[in-house]
Every structure is written in C-alpha cells, then in structure tokens.
Structure 1
Amino acid sequence: MSSKGITGQCLCGDIKLVVATPPDHFEACHCDMCRRWGGGAFLAFDGGCDVVVTGTPSVYDSSEWAERGFCGSCGSHLFYRIKQNQQYMLPMGLFPELKQTPFTQEIFIDEKPSYYGFANETKKMTGEEAFAAFAAQGRENEE
C-alpha cells in the first residue's frame, strides 16, 4: 500500500475507488439488508469520508440513513454510504492488496442466521449496540 492510499475497482473496471487511508481492520455486518444485498455477511472497512470515486455508480436509497452504490455495468457492490456525513463502508473484495487486514468485529450479530459462522474471534455487537456506538461517534465528531 502506498502512502497515497489504496485503489479498488469493480469487476469490469468501469468504477474505481481511492481511499486516502488504508484500514487497520475490517468487520462483518449480518443485518438483513446487507445479507439480501450481497447474499451473505457484508465484509467491509470504514473508508471514512475522503473517498474518490471515478466513474458513475448507480446508487440505491436503501434506508433513511444510508445508500448503497453498485456498478451499473457489472453489478459489483461498491459502497454503503451514510447519508448524514457521506461516510463510506467499502467491501474488502474490491481492494486485493488488503489480504492481510485483520477481521476484528461483527455487527448485527442478533440478526446473523445459524447457517454460517466465522472462525475468527471478534468483538460482537447487536444492532442496538451498533446504532448506539454510531450515535456516540457522531456526537464526538460534532464537538
């Protein structure tokens, strides 16, 4: 990874994403929406608000608080973006150079189905705990 960040792309290469700061960990979201969107847990990292997107992704307004981006050509999932602050959660698979990034947390563990599981020891948070942590983070950023 370079000091200029990392670059990922969709399957066909029409859309590229450049993240200023490479992640030091990633997490899995087990919520119903993420599982419907991708067919399983959403393995992603917090790309922050400083993400440069080249190309024109299709965007789906998936909830009051977030939208999901995908490539209109190949269908690759590109991001989950929080509307309030334009914070990006980015799929690990778009960034091949992140293969050694540690898996540290699972959220919406209360919505995880029993038909899969991960061997890694991770911090686990329910949906309620995840929303509370996000709200607390938002309050810290306002100060």
Structure 2
Amino acid sequence: MTHPASKTGQCLCGAVTFTATNVNTNLNACHCDMCRRWSGGPFMALSCGREVDFDGEENIAVFDSSEWAERGFCKQCGSHLFYRLKDTAEMEIPVGLFEGNTDDLKFELQVFIDHKPDYYSFANQTETMTEQQVIEKYVL
C-alpha cells in the first residue's frame, strides 16, 4: 500500500537540499545496466512524483541519459539526486539521501529483473518486472 509522506534530504556535501511532499514509501530497485553503471549497484529509490523542491539548484547538473529520462547530480560532491522522466517530470530519488526515520519504508518492487547479475540477490520478496514489462507500462 502507498503511504504518501513529506520527507527531506540532502546530497553528501549539503550543497543541495530538498523537500519531497508526495513520497511513496514503497522502495524500488532498478537493475538495468545504466542504473548499475550510474550507482555502482542496483539503484534503490523512492518515487516522489513532481512535488520536489530543491535548494541549491545552482549546484545541480542534469545528464540526458535516454530518450525518456534524465539524471541529476550535485556538481560539488557528485551525489546522485534524481532520475526524472522527461514526459511527466516524475522523479525517483535515491533512498540514501533522505533524512530521518526510515521505518515506514517497504521494499516493494524490482525492475529490469532480467538484467540483474547473478553476483547479488535480495532476501526480500518483492514484485518484479522485466525490461519489456517496464517499457510497456511506463514508456510506450
């Protein structure tokens, strides 16, 4: 079940802070090649919709990573700040950036499960989606 909440966070150096007012507390992981290259492992994030206010925007750089999405990072420390869909401006924000209690989070979904390498595995039972399922649901 989705539990929208307001949460705050920041990058590693604090040059960029944010408040997300519609955070879905269901945690997602992406195993696609691009996310693993970007994050060094699976990209674990919370869906935050479009209602995210950033302070320190002059410290945000955006990389146009695909036809449908872009990725933001801090120019000062390199922290990954968001994955944003171009058509809807909806954002996924890395779970590690959020401050405060995380007891309300539930690991719910793994996408691009058919790209997950064999060298790691999560013990949690989650919903899974293949690359084709993700593209059909979110891109096409």
CA distance in 2, matches of 1:111, 1:4: 31
Runs of 4+ more than 3 Å apart: none
Structure 2 counterpart of 1:67, from 61, 66, 70: 70
Cα deviations by residue, 1:11-31 (Å, 9 ceiling, x for unpaired): 000001211123231110000
Answer yes or no: is the 8 Å Cα contact 1:10–1:16 preserved in 2.
yes
1:1-143 pair list within 5 angstroms: 5-56=6-57, 57-97=60-100, 99-100=102-103, 101-135=105-139
CA distance in 2, matches of 1:93, 1:4: 16
The TM-score, its normalising length taken from structure 1, stands at 0.88
- Percentage of matched positions with identical amino acids: 47
In the TM superposition, residue 36 of structure 1 has moved relative to its aligned partner by 0.3
**Cα 1:113–1:60 shift into 2, 3 Å:** same
CA distance in 2, matches of 1:109, 1:4: 27
Q: Report the secondary structure of 1:37's partner residue.
A: helix
Point out where structure 1 has 5 or more consecutive residues left out of the alignment. 137-143
Cα deviations by residue, 1:48-85 (Å, 9 ceiling, x for unpaired): 01111111211111111111000010110000000111
**Cα 1:135–1:60 shift into 2, 3 Å:** closer
Answer yes or no: is the 8 Å Cα contact 1:44–1:91 preserved in 2.
yes
Aligned residue identity for 2:76 = S
More strand by share: 2
Point out where structure 2 has 5 or more consecutive residues left out of the alignment. none
Answer yes or no: is the 8 Å Cα contact 1:7–1:16 preserved in 2.
yes
CA RMSD of the aligned region, Å? Answer: 1.6
